[in-house]
Copies of this chain bind each other. A is one copy, B any other.
Amino acid sequence: MNIGFIGGTGEEGMGLAYRFALAGHACIIGSRAIEKAQAAVVELKEKDAALPITGATNIEAAAAGIVIVTTPYSAQEATLPPLAAALAGRIVVSTVVPMAFEAGRASLVAVPEGSAAEQEQALLPQSTVVAAFQNLSARKLLKGGPLDADVVVCAADPEAKKQVMSLAEAIEGVRAVDGGPLPNARLVEGITVLLVAINRAYKTQAGIRITAIQ
């Protein structure tokens, strides 16, 4: 399965692309500026020149089998509408957390649609949006080595949810957990804000596990 990243040149996009490429998935890092995408690819290939990662424009990345949106929340409303036609009929994964910082403290930003994921669905009405990966530490993804974290996956479409859950478990040390319908993404996005506070208090890159499920 090839995987495209919209706005893939940040830590989150690069970290996920690195992990999925390690698992053998061809990854296409998209950017508005192809030079930025190519620079990200060069950086990732320093880890391993054989990684199946290429750079492209966002519209090219939008043609992949599964497309993952890793833009900042503030860029989502401008970035996605021009890609809506290209993304029609595809599974599009929302990793975005609507977060603001003030005096070093993170807070969850109100989203008119409820969550960043529901906004993405509203901007891409012909795509099947699945929310996932918000709680993974981008820094740990990029660093390599096994994670110790669950990925809570929220979606309306059970088949799309299943595909993304299976994709998540390609990352070493990750277990996917069914988090229910798409509006629950708001709660998962909130966990990231909580983890930022915990990271600050404990000087770490924390994750979450759900207990008592198999």
Give chain A's interface residues, CB within 8 Å of chain B. 105, 107-108, 137, 148-149, 152, 177-181, 183-184, 186-188, 190-191, 193-195, 197-198, 200-202, 204-214
Out of B183, B188, B193, B202, which one reaches A213, CB within 8 Å? B202
* Cα-based distance from A187 to B108 in the complex (angstroms): 9
* Cα-based distance from A198 to B154 in the complex (angstroms): 10
Cβ-defined contact, A211 with B148, below 8 A: yes
Out of B184, B191, B207, which one reaches A211, CB within 8 Å? B207
* Distance from A118 Cβ to chain B, minimum over Cβ atoms (Å): 13
Cβ-defined contact, A213 with B208, below 8 A: no
* Cα-based distance from A205 to B209 in the complex (angstroms): 14
Cβ-defined contact, B149 with A177, below 8 A: no
Out of B184, B200, B212, which one reaches A197, CB within 8 Å? B184
A212 CB contacts on chain B under 8 angstroms? 137, 148, 204-207
* Cα-based distance from A187 to B186 in the complex (angstroms): 10
A201 CB contacts on chain B under 8 angstroms? 178, 180
* Cα-based distance from A186 to B194 in the complex (angstroms): 10
Cβ-defined contact, A200 with B180, below 8 A: yes
For this complex, 16 residue pairs linking A to B, each with C-beta atoms less than 8 Å apart, are: A107-B183, A148-B212, A152-B198, A178-B198, A179-B197, A180-B197, A181-B197, A184-B194, A187-B190, A190-B191, A191-B191, A198-B213, A202-B213, A204-B213, A208-B209, A208-B210
Cβ-defined contact, B177 with A186, below 8 A: no
Cβ-defined contact, A208 with B211, below 8 A: yes
A210-B208, A211-B148 as given contacts; A178 in contact with B191, CB under 8 Å: no
* Distance from A2 Cβ to chain B, minimum over Cβ atoms (Å): 29
